[in-house]
Amino acid sequence: MTDAWFAGVDPDDPAAGATGVREGHADAPADWPAEAVQGGFAADESEYYERLREATIEATRDEVAEREGADDVQLTHAVRAMDDAERTANELAERVVEWAGTLYEDVPRGLDGVRDIADRDPTTPAEERVVSYATRAVDLLDERDELRTFIEERAPSAAPNLAEMAGPVLAARLISLAGGLDKLAKAPSGTVQVLGAEDALFAHLSGRASSPKHGVIFTHEYVNGTRPEDRGSAARAFAGKLSIAARIDHYSGDYRPEVHAELTDRIETIRARAEEGDE
Amino acid sequence: MSDGLPEGVERRPYDGRERLATNGEPVYGEPTDSDGWRAWDAGRSKLGAMLELEMDTGLDGGETVLYLGAASGTTVSHVADFAGPTYAVEFAPRPVRDLVGVAEDRDNLFPLLKDARDPSSYAHVVEADVDCLVMDVATRGQATVAIRNKQFLADDGRLLMAVKARSEDVTAEPDDVFDDVVSDLESEYEILETARLDRFHADHLGIVARPK
């Protein structure tokens, strides 16, 4: 049995060849042209290369279209689903712990408690219900973790610079809040800075509050790890570079290490203020 | 050949200046002449710079080539003009869109949207014992990528690699980065020649090596 891309592929079916190229894998290369001729996939080497060319071009063109067209959409759904799963799991957990507390002693609080309950063997009909309910909550937590893994795998190819700079999950949140990578790329950096702080922004715009310094980017260490009086500067610098990263990802797709180094420098400079002891 | 250029690569005059050129369909608005030769801009191509600097690449023309980091296909289009079957691997979807266009104009260029750090994702397509492995990947761990992909290279094949110092560590001195990369490579490759490509590409090192 061979791992070749053309294994089991009808030579006259270019779509099947393309699927072989896209989805196959092998631990090691082999003399594929010779194998193909021996196995009757091609009459000779030059026919093999013709078929290979057709299959690689079709496979690659399709995959590019798919990845370019849909990656940010997938990330948007995945990050929203992850948040839904987490919120719902917490809600279920509250009920589980509350209920289990009337049936068992020593129920740990929070999500640990839920996992603990889910592992128990019920002995009464009431216990059966609460253990079953806890199992649903645990499944939902596992699903949240799977969604996070999916985002961590997908974000770096959808938006390499943004994912490197913000981390995959925050990158996905920014894309989701902006409504797509293209919208994020076109947004001014001041908008990126306050994405996720819409309520505070509208309070400010209607004259009820000062302007928000940061939105969801607060979750990044560059912002929350900077002392409060410098957070506005850090958030502005971070948002500026995130904006540039989103534009590179949307318009070129190259990974540019320079941008990341510039941001690191800038954040260090801002944090050095604290060490200089100025107020 | 005495000038170290493979068959199919020539120095030809464009606007009164001798430049490298290959014969094929134009790709990126490069100058062409009436015989179908198109200038190979060493300022846009690390492999072009290596040839321009007369490094001994061991290329004769007609080789089977695995090219990692093909980007939008600027350099690999020239490679396909003088080489044999040419496998072009690139990870980012956006440049690959252009690469597919380049491949459509050529019979011997096979574009692959795959990650060079994960050779098992294309070992079912790329044949064993290629004559030449060209590497121009702007990622951290460039030596590791070269080592992982050694399995494709024939025993007497050549690794032609352009190391970008800034991809490894933007803050370090390029010379230190190059020393590290070369010493990492030496576990699996015999280094035949190195040269700074700075005349054409700042903070890049060209390496010619063969598998140990």
A32 occurs within a structural domain:
yes
Residues of chain A contacting residue B138, judged by C-beta atoms under 8 Å apart: 254-255, 257
The 10s digit of each residue's pLDDT in A264-278 is 999 999 988 887 765
B91 occurs within a structural domain:
yes
The CATH number given to whatever domain includes residue B107 is 3.40.50.150
Mean of pLDDT values over A244-263: 89
Residues of chain A contacting residue B120, judged by C-beta atoms under 8 Å apart: 25-27
My answer on whether A52 and A166 are in the same domain is: no
What ipTM is given for this predicted complex? 0.93
**What is residue B149's DSSP assignment?**
G
B158 occurs within a structural domain:
yes
- What is the predicted pLDDT for the residue at A69? 64
B18 occurs within a structural domain:
no
The CATH number given to whatever domain includes residue A255 is 1.10.246.90
A6 occurs within a structural domain:
no
Domain that holds residue B182: 41-211
B16 occurs within a structural domain:
no
B126 Cα distance to chain centroid: 16
pTM metric for this prediction: 0.66
B66 occurs within a structural domain:
yes
Contact B170 A258 (CB under 8 A): yes
A73 occurs within a structural domain:
no
The 10s digit of each residue's pLDDT in A172-194 is 999 999 988 988 999 999 999 98
My answer on whether A277 and A170 are in the same domain is: yes
Mean of pLDDT values over A235-261: 90
The total domain count for chain B is 1
B163 occurs within a structural domain:
yes
A150 occurs within a structural domain:
no
A254 occurs within a structural domain:
yes
A179 occurs within a structural domain:
yes
B5 occurs within a structural domain:
no
**Which residue in A37, A56, A66, A74 has the most chain B C-beta atoms within 10 A of its own C-beta, making it the best mutation to test that interface?**
A56
Contact B151 A68 (CB under 8 A): no
The total domain count for chain A is 2
The 10s digit of each residue's pLDDT in B33-50 is 989 999 999 999 999 999
Domain that holds residue A196: 159-279
- Give yes or no for B120 touching A (CB within 8 A): yes
Mean of pLDDT values over A84-88: 94
My answer on whether A60 and A167 are in the same domain is: no
Reduced to 3 states (helix: H, G, I; strand: E, B; else coil), residue B134 is strand
- What is the predicted pLDDT for the residue at B1? 43
CA distance A158 to A72: 7
Contact A29 B128 (CB under 8 A): yes
My answer on whether A164 and A57 are in the same domain is: no
Contact A49 B85 (CB under 8 A): yes
3-state secondary structure A211-262: CCCCCHHHHCHHHHCCCHHHHHHHHHHHHHHHHHHHHHHHHCCCCCHHHHHH
**What is residue B150's DSSP assignment?**
G
A24 occurs within a structural domain:
yes
A92 occurs within a structural domain:
no
B30 occurs within a structural domain:
no
